[in-house]
Structure 1
Amino acid sequence: MVTASRVQLTVLRGRDDECRALRSLLDGVTDGGGALLLQGEPGSGRTALVGYAHRYAQNCTVLAGTGLAEEAALPYAGLQRLLDPVLDRMTALPDEQRRLLRRVLAGEGCPADRRLTLSMAVLGLLAAVARERPLLATMDDVDRGDPQTAQVLAFVARRLRHLPVAVLLTADVTTTVDGIPAHRLRPLDLRDSMAVLTDRLSEPPTAPVATTLAMVGGGNPQALVDLADVLTPGQCRGEEQLPDAPPVDGALGRAYRARLDRLPPETRRVLLLAALDEGGEPGTLIRATGTEVEALAPAEVAGLVRVESQGVTFPQPLVRALIASSATLAERRTAHRLLAGVLVADGQRLRRAMHLAAAAAGVDPALADELEEAAVGGADGWATASAALRWAADLSDEPTRTAARLLTAAQYAWAGGQPDVARLLLARLRLVCRDPGVRGRADLLLGELELRCGTAARASARLLAATAKVAGTDRALALSGLARAGEAVCFAGDQYRYAEVGRRASALRRPDDPPAMELMSSLVTGVAATLRGDHERGGPALRRAVVLGGRLTGPAATPTALSCAAAAGLVVAVDGAAHRLADRAATVARDRGELSMLSRALELRAVAEYWLGRHEAAAETSRDGLRVARATGQVNCANVHLGMLAVLAAVRADRDATLGRIREMGEAPTAGSRPHALAGWALAVLDLVDGRHAEAADRLASLARLGTGRGQVLVQVMATPYLVEAAAHLPCRPTATAALAVFDRWASSTASPLRRALSARSHALLAPRGGPEAEQEFQRALRLHPTDAGTFERARTELLFGQELRRSRRPRDARTHLHQAREMFTLLGVGRWAEQATTELRAAGESVGPPDLPAARLLTGQQLKIAELVAEGATNREIAARMFLSTRTVDHHLRNVFHRLGIRSRTELVRAFATERQVGLASDR
Structure 2
Amino acid sequence: MYAQRSLVGRAPEQATIGGLLDHAPDGGAALVIRGAPGVGKSALLEWAATTAGEKFRLLHAAGSVTEFGLPYAALHQVMRPVLGHRNRLAPKYRLALDVAFGRTSGAPPEESTVAMAALDLLAEAAADRPILLLADDAQWMDVASQQTLAFLARRVTADRIVLLATHRDAEPGPLLDAAVPAVDIAPLDAGSAAELLDGAAGALDPGVRALVLDAARGNPLALLELPRAAGRYAGANAGRIALTARLENSFLARTGELDASTTTVLEVAALSDADDVAEIVAAAAILAPDAPPSLDPAVSAGLIVVDGASVRFRHPLIRSAVLQRLGPDRRRACHAALARALSGRPERSVWHRAGAALRPDAALAAELEQHADQAIRRGAQAFAVGALERAAQLSAARGDRQARTYRAAALAYTAGQPENGERLRRHHRDLIDAGHDELRHEWLNELADSDHGGEQRIHMLLGHAERATAIGDHTLATDFLRAAALRCWNLSPGRPVGKQVIAVAGRLGVTDIATRAQLLAYGSPFDSDGTVRALIAQVPPAGRDAATTYRLAHAAACAGASDVSEGLLTEAADRIRSEGHLHTLGRTLSLLAWSALRRGSWSHAVAAAEESTRLCAETRQPFWEAASLVAHAMVAAFRGDFTDAENLVVAAERLNPRRFATTDAVAMLARAAIASGQGRYDQAFTCLAQLHDPAGSAYHPAHALWSLAGLAEAAVACGREDAARTLIARLPAEVRATTSPTGRMNLAFAEAVLTDSFSTAMAADMTMWPYERYRLYFAYGMSLRRGRRVRESRDHLRTARDGFDRLGAHPLADRARTELRAAGERSDSPVTDVWDSLSPQEIQIASMVARGMTNRDIAKSLFISHRTVGSHLYRMFPKLGITTRGELQRMAAEHER
User: TM (normalized to structure 2)?
Assistant: 0.56
AA aligned to 1:357 is: A
Q: Equivalent of 1:520, from 509, 515, 518?
A: 515
Q: What secondary structure sits across from 1:451 in the alignment?
A: coil
Q: Equivalent of 1:659, from 646, 660, 671?
A: 646
Task: Measure, in 2, the Cα distance between the counterparts of 1:214 and 1:766.
Answer: 52
Could you tell me whether the CA contact under 8 Å between 2:265 and 2:280 is conserved in 1?
A: no
- Following TM superposition, by how much is the alpha carbon of 1:388 offset from its aligned partner in structure 2, in angstroms? 1.1
Task: Measure, in 2, the Cα distance between the counterparts of 1:798 and 1:628.
Answer: 38
Q: Which residue of 1 aligns with 2:504?
A: 504
Are 2:666 and 1:678 aligned?
Answer: yes
- Following TM superposition, by how much is the alpha carbon of 1:428 offset from its aligned partner in structure 2, in angstroms? 0.6
Are 2:529 and 1:544 aligned?
Answer: no
- Following TM superposition, by how much is the alpha carbon of 1:761 offset from its aligned partner in structure 2, in angstroms? 4.2
Task: Measure, in 2, the Cα distance between the counterparts of 1:717 and 1:492.
Answer: 16
- Following TM superposition, by how much is the alpha carbon of 1:691 offset from its aligned partner in structure 2, in angstroms? 3.1
Are 2:841 and 1:843 aligned?
Answer: no
- Following TM superposition, by how much is the alpha carbon of 1:509 offset from its aligned partner in structure 2, in angstroms? 1.3
- Which aligned pairs between 1:72-151 and structure 2 lie closer than 5 A? none
Are 2:602 and 1:615 aligned?
Answer: yes
Could you tell me whether the CA contact under 8 Å between 1:416 and 1:595 is conserved in 2?
A: no
- Following TM superposition, by how much is the alpha carbon of 1:508 offset from its aligned partner in structure 2, in angstroms? 0.9
Task: Measure, in 1, the Cα distance between the counterparts of 2:361 and 2:444.
Answer: 28
Task: Measure, in 1, the Cα distance between the counterparts of 2:395 and 2:382.
Answer: 20
- Which aligned pairs between 1:181-196 and structure 2 lie closer than 5 A? none
- Following TM superposition, by how much is the alpha carbon of 1:478 offset from its aligned partner in structure 2, in angstroms? 1.1
- Following TM superposition, by how much is the alpha carbon of 1:427 offset from its aligned partner in structure 2, in angstroms? 0.6
AA aligned to 1:444 is: W
- Following TM superposition, by how much is the alpha carbon of 1:699 offset from its aligned partner in structure 2, in angstroms? 2.9
Q: Which residue of 1 aligns with 2:555?
A: 568
Q: Equivalent of 1:723, from 711, 721, 724?
A: 711
AA aligned to 1:766 is: L
After TM superposition, the structure 1 stretch with the greater mean CA deviation from structure 2, 363-372 or 465-474, is: 465-474
Task: Measure, in 2, the Cα distance between the counterparts of 1:644 and 1:861.
Answer: 13
Task: Measure, in 1, the Cα distance between the counterparts of 2:248 and 2:628.
Answer: 39
AA aligned to 1:777 is: A
Q: Which residue of 2 aligns with 1:412?
A: 411
- Following TM superposition, by how much is the alpha carbon of 1:610 offset from its aligned partner in structure 2, in angstroms? 2.6
Query: 1:442-490 deviations in whole A, cap 9, x for unaligned?
Result: 21132133126x6777864663454354232213321221111111122
Q: Which residue of 2 aligns with 1:135?
A: none
Task: Measure, in 2, the Cα distance between the counterparts of 1:519 and 1:701.
Answer: 34
Q: What secondary structure sits across from 1:621 in the alignment?
A: helix
User: Aligned in 2, Cα 1:851/1:661: closer, same or farther, shift over 3 Å?
Assistant: closer
* RCO higher in structure (CA 8 A, sep ≥6): 2
**Amino-acid identity (%):** 23
How many positions carry a matched residue from both structures?
637
Could you tell me whether the CA contact under 8 Å between 1:212 and 1:420 is conserved in 2?
A: no
Q: What secondary structure sits across from 1:41 in the alignment?
A: strand
Query: 1:497-541 deviations in whole A, cap 9, x for unaligned?
Result: 22332232222116xx4xxx454245324554545x5x5xx7325
- Following TM superposition, by how much is the alpha carbon of 1:590 offset from its aligned partner in structure 2, in angstroms? 6.9
Query: 1:321-377 deviations in whole A, cap 9, x for unaligned?
Result: 98976762769979977886787767xx65553454345454322111012133238
Q: What secondary structure sits across from 2:35 in the alignment?
A: coil
- Which aligned pairs between 1:402-801 and structure 2 lie closer than 5 A? 402-451=401-450, 460=458, 463-464=461-462, 466-473=464-471, 474-493=473-492, 495-496=494-495, 497-509=497-509, 513=511, 517-525=512-520, 527-531=522-526, 533=527, 535=528, 539-540=530-531, 543-544=534-535, 547-548=538-539, 557=545, 559=547, 562-575=549-562, 577-579=564-566, 581-582=568-569, 599-664=586-651, 665-666=653-654, 668=656, 673-704=661-692, 711-729=699-717, 730=719, 731-732=721-722, 733-735=724-726, 737-738=728-729, 745-746=737-738, 748-750=739-741, 761-768=749-756, 773-774=757-758, 777-778=761-762, 780-781=763-764, 784-786=766-768, 790-801=769-780
Task: Measure, in 1, the Cα distance between the counterparts of 2:174 and 2:460.
Answer: 24
- Following TM superposition, by how much is the alpha carbon of 1:695 offset from its aligned partner in structure 2, in angstroms? 3.6
Query: 1:166-216 deviations in whole A, cap 9, x for unaligned?
Result: xxxxxx999xxxxxxxxxx99999xxxxxxxxxx99xxxxxxx98989579
AA aligned to 2:754 is: L
Task: Measure, in 1, the Cα distance between the counterparts of 2:364 and 2:186.
Answer: 36
Q: What secondary structure sits across from 1:421 in the alignment?
A: helix
Task: Measure, in 1, the Cα distance between the counterparts of 2:384 and 2:494.
Answer: 38
Task: Measure, in 2, the Cα distance between the counterparts of 1:707 and 1:67.
Answer: 56
User: Aligned in 2, Cα 1:471/1:601: closer, same or farther, shift over 3 Å?
Assistant: farther
AA aligned to 1:734 is: R
Q: Equivalent of 1:379, from 377, 380, 391?
A: 377
Task: Measure, in 2, the Cα distance between the counterparts of 1:701 and 1:864.
Answer: 35
Task: Measure, in 2, the Cα distance between the counterparts of 1:726 and 1:852.
Answer: 29
User: Aligned in 2, Cα 1:589/1:447: closer, same or farther, shift over 3 Å?
Assistant: farther
Could you tell me whether the CA contact under 8 Å between 1:393 and 1:406 is conserved in 2?
A: yes
Query: 1:522-569 deviations in whole A, cap 9, x for unaligned?
Result: 5324554545x5x5xx7325632664495756xxx574x554322222
- Following TM superposition, by how much is the alpha carbon of 1:843 offset from its aligned partner in structure 2, in angstroms? 2.7
- Following TM superposition, by how much is the alpha carbon of 1:712 offset from its aligned partner in structure 2, in angstroms? 0.9
Could you tell me whether the CA contact under 8 Å between 1:619 and 1:648 is conserved in 2?
A: yes
Task: Measure, in 2, the Cα distance between the counterparts of 1:581 and 1:321.
Answer: 51
Q: What secondary structure sits across from 1:716 in the alignment?
A: helix
User: Aligned in 2, Cα 1:863/1:758: closer, same or farther, shift over 3 Å?
Assistant: farther
User: Aligned in 2, Cα 1:422/1:626: closer, same or farther, shift over 3 Å?
Assistant: farther
Q: Which residue of 2 aligns with 1:32?
A: none
Could you tell me whether the CA contact under 8 Å between 2:665 and 2:698 is conserved in 1?
A: no
- Which aligned pairs between 1:290-439 and structure 2 lie closer than 5 A? 328=323, 353-354=350-351, 356-358=353-355, 360-376=357-373, 378-380=376-378, 381-439=380-438
Could you tell me whether the CA contact under 8 Å between 2:778 and 2:796 is conserved in 1?
A: yes
User: Aligned in 2, Cα 1:855/1:814: closer, same or farther, shift over 3 Å?
Assistant: farther
User: Aligned in 2, Cα 1:472/1:663: closer, same or farther, shift over 3 Å?
Assistant: same
Task: Measure, in 1, the Cα distance between the counterparts of 2:586 and 2:844.
Answer: 30
Task: Measure, in 2, the Cα distance between the counterparts of 1:883 and 1:398.
Answer: 54
Could you tell me whether the CA contact under 8 Å between 2:486 and 2:522 is conserved in 1?
A: no
User: Aligned in 2, Cα 1:695/1:375: closer, same or farther, shift over 3 Å?
Assistant: same
Q: What is the root-mean-square deviation of aligned Cα atoms in Å?
A: 6.2
Task: Measure, in 2, the Cα distance between the counterparts of 1:592 and 1:355.
Answer: 35
Query: 1:625-673 deviations in whole A, cap 9, x for unaligned?
Result: 4445445554444444444444344333433333333333249468871
User: Aligned in 2, Cα 1:848/1:594: closer, same or farther, shift over 3 Å?
Assistant: closer
Could you tell me whether the CA contact under 8 Å between 1:826 and 1:834 is conserved in 2?
A: yes
Could you tell me whether the CA contact under 8 Å between 2:270 and 2:322 is conserved in 1?
A: no
Q: Which residue of 1 aligns with 2:888?
A: none
Query: 1:875-902 deviations in whole A, cap 9, x for unaligned?
Result: xxxxx99973899x99xxx9xx9xxxxx
Q: Which residue of 1 aligns with 2:104?
A: none
Could you tell me whether the CA contact under 8 Å between 1:674 and 1:712 is conserved in 2?
A: yes
AA aligned to 1:840 is: E
AA aligned to 2:701 is: V
Q: Equivalent of 2:831, from 841, 852, 856?
A: 852
- Following TM superposition, by how much is the alpha carbon of 1:808 offset from its aligned partner in structure 2, in angstroms? 3.9
Gaps of 5+ in 1: 1-14, 22-36, 49-65, 71-171, 175-184, 190-199, 202-208, 226-248, 868-879, 898-908, 915-925
